[in-house]
Chains A and B, each alone.
Chain A
């Protein structure tokens, strides 16, 4: 299954010899004899985003046609799914989960710590909803990474490895980009024709205008890229895969799907290769997800009670958290919710993620803190009310933290040496703090842990352990955090 966002402009530009076939504003040609490459383009560069490059990569990989699920023989999974709230940009550890009220004024920031429902654990006063639910999650205060560049640290956070990560300056780390944690789940659990294993809510991650590597299948192939959805407070659910043409709603997809089938038939006439047939299967799945009434109900948030939607927050991130719950309820095994697409924002007041070089405190108190507090608090409640929290691991983390010392613009810069994460549910031992930072939250004081450790633990809970990873041809990265599992 290839489910990356397509280059629809490329689709619009495709032309073939023969008769004209109109698709909305799109013009393609049918009829006549197509070359194999042209046929591949016709079938591939379509609205579901199967690219020629993907096909060639598939052929090169020569993976077994079914790529079956790796059997879980070593352990019984304690949970089924993972929801990753990807706090892109890197939240300040000192203004969220690791306050240092005794640090010097230039470090501690303006916020007070407040007691939580777990005696002895305190978090930021801007997170009162999460404070009341501290018995449902654990805080890790000793995470560290190896890069303070969004591009590389993002790749580390999302894959566990810096391999292939690209910095803002364009320097690429050695090695192939490893699969996103969701893609690992997809590979290990295997293809499901009814439901994608891995869904990302939000657009492609960028640093400035540079895309981040590690969002997709990496070495396990683009078949395990995420299926993408998004939510806009005014427009509703968005399907970036389709990048719908003006005036075309999902209702129109059925006819587009029929068109694709016609084009695919041409492809079949010129090539009956197993890879093409597999791609048809994946494409069919994508259409099924987008157009079938049952599937569309999964991402129809209007089916939720108004009260619950309000509880999550009537803003993009809140509604995406609600969508995440609906998706794991429908069987998706890994949902990544991107806080934003961009960091290094082009302006200082909008949503450039948690990358608060400027006005850190203004943005925290005006937007980010209460949004995270409300949405994550509601997600924990909702999962618990539905009996899903014990079988769903929830992780909230960014690619790094922020400089303990406040800069001259009332902001905090990138800091990979020490930062915090929240992890909840999934049968984990919660209501505790793992690791400590030093007096200024500059470095781990004990139990230094990595992003790879964090996600190794999350995947371990859903039955993706050493045996399964190895059997899938993957090298396990990080160690399971024993205090949690």
Chain B
């Protein structure tokens, strides 16, 4: 019988007796085992994602309630695009009874309201407002409407301190990032560039806003202070980086990237360093979000139809 001490005694080539026995079982040359283990460690990124929905219909922008018990998302069904809220028991409800498209919701930090984009088709197409509604579906209010011409106010994102809502708008002739109070007052423009600026999200301290922009060529993630100052570039990759989502602990920003040739969810440090591919799947992975507990949530067609998944990132996969 080989004792533990002998089993772990390292030979001159760095291989222990335990390695040798394990390698026999795996049919791997003992000398390659350390390298193999290193590769396995590097590629082990996360537990398998958990599938939350099963209908297969196209979905976008999942958003967890602050207490983590409800998940809002947008579902395309036939020609309709509506908001749904899914409870922990799997039941779902529509947020409104409107026949017009409603989509891309975000929760208020107290969990009492949602803010979302509303595409009113009457009297004109091409007119999109931001509305808010109580979590029980009552008390629909307009947050920001078009300023007398056809514009798009969309992708609202409620600041964690509850004081402002970031969104994109074409009201000034180009798609820019703005913030506004939840009551629709005090609209402020954060960006001013002929590029497309889109999909704002807040840092947990409500001091900064991450967004996507093509001002440097293709789509990249940038961060700007909530007052519009100090705009910095966060990603620098060839190709599409979009839909940033700031993690609850403030340390990471998840985003969709095509840098590996198909849409994957990446996460980078809040300083833009150490980007990691969190999903690593040949399917389409898109619309990242975080649960309050820090689980990555996204939409993927890896099972055929489009479903919402939740994934607990392994330590090695976190930026």
Contact = CB atoms under 8 A, between A and B. Distances in A.
Nearest to B60: A366
A236 to B, nearest CB: 13
Interface stretch (A7-15, A35-43, A343-351): A343-351
A184 B80 CA distance: 36
A408 B170 contact: yes
Interface string A315-354: 1000000000000000000000000000011111111000
A371 to B, nearest CB: 9
Interface stretch (A137-145, A357-365, A387-395, A459-467): A357-365
Interface string B75-117: 0111111000000000000000000110100000000000000
Interface string B274-293: 00000000001000000000
B150 A362 contact: no
B217 A101 contact: yes
A357 B152 CA distance: 12
Nearest to A232: B78
A114 B305 CA distance: 26
B258 A125 contact: yes
Contacts of A106: 194
A105 B214 contact: yes
B294 interface: no
Contacts of B34: none
A34 interface: no
Contacts, number: 102
A69 B101 CA distance: 49
A361 B58 contact: no
Contacts of A211: none
A112 B215 CA distance: 13
B79 A125 contact: no
A163 interface: no
Contact of B80 (A101, A350, A409): A350
B295 interface: no
A57 interface: no
B128 to A, nearest CB: 7
Interface in B263-309: 263, 284, 301, 304-305
A112 B217 contact: yes
B173 A348 contact: no
B123 to A, nearest CB: 11
B119 A314 contact: no
B125 interface: yes
A259 B152 CA distance: 54
B58 A315 contact: yes
B73 interface: no
Interface string A38-70: 000000000000000000000000000000000
Contacts of A114: 239, 261
Given A110-B218, A128-B258, A348-B125, A370 B198 contact: no
* Chain B facing A: main interface SS: loop
B240 interface: yes
Interface string B122-155: 0001101000000000000000000000111010
A112 B238 contact: yes
A232 B78 CA distance: 8
Contact of A346 (B121, B198, B219): B121
Contacts of B196: 110, 361, 406, 410
Interface in B229-243: 238-240, 242
A223 B77 CA distance: 36
B126 A351 contact: no
Interface string B53-80: 0001110100000000000000011111
Contact of B218 (A111, A232, A345, A357): A111
B16 interface: no
B7 to A, nearest CB: 46
A410 B199 CA distance: 14
B15 interface: no
Contacts of A350: 76, 79-81, 101
B218 A349 contact: no
Most buried by B among A110, A232, A345: A110
A22 B6 CA distance: 92
B156 to A, nearest CB: 14
Contact of A110 (B58, B100, B126, B219): B219
A112 B240 contact: yes
B132 to A, nearest CB: 19
B32 to A, nearest CB: 32
Contacts of A315: 58
A112 B217 CA distance: 8
A109 B195 CA distance: 8
B175 A112 contact: no
A412 to B, nearest CB: 12
A306 B304 contact: yes
B170 A125 contact: no
B78 A347 contact: no
B119 A349 contact: yes
A141 to B, nearest CB: 20
A346 B219 CA distance: 29
B218 A351 contact: no
A378 interface: no
Interface string A396-439: 00000000001011100000000000000000000000000000
Contacts of A370: 263, 284
A349 B219 CA distance: 21
Most buried by B among A105, A347, A357: A347
Contacts of A128: 258, 261-262
Given A109-B214, A348-B125, 16 more contacts: A114-B261, A125-B239, A234-B77, A234-B78, A314-B56, A346-B121, A347-B121, A358-B125, A358-B126, A361-B196, A362-B198, A367-B76, A370-B263, A408-B170, A409-B150, A410-B175
Q: Which 7 A-B pairs have the closest CB atoms?
A: A110-B214, A112-B218, A310-B304, A408-B173, A410-B175, A358-B126, A349-B101
29 contacts: A105-B194, A105-B214, A105-B215, A110-B219, A111-B218, A111-B219, A112-B238, A128-B258, A233-B78, A306-B304, A314-B304, A315-B58, A346-B121, A347-B101, A347-B125, A348-B119, A348-B126, A348-B152, A349-B103, A349-B119, A350-B76, A350-B80, A350-B81, A350-B101, A358-B150, A365-B242, A367-B76, A410-B174, A410-B196
Interface of A: 101, 105-106, 109-112, 114, 125-126, 128, 232-234, 306, 310, 314-315, 344-351, 357-359, 361-362, 365-367, 370, 406, 408-410
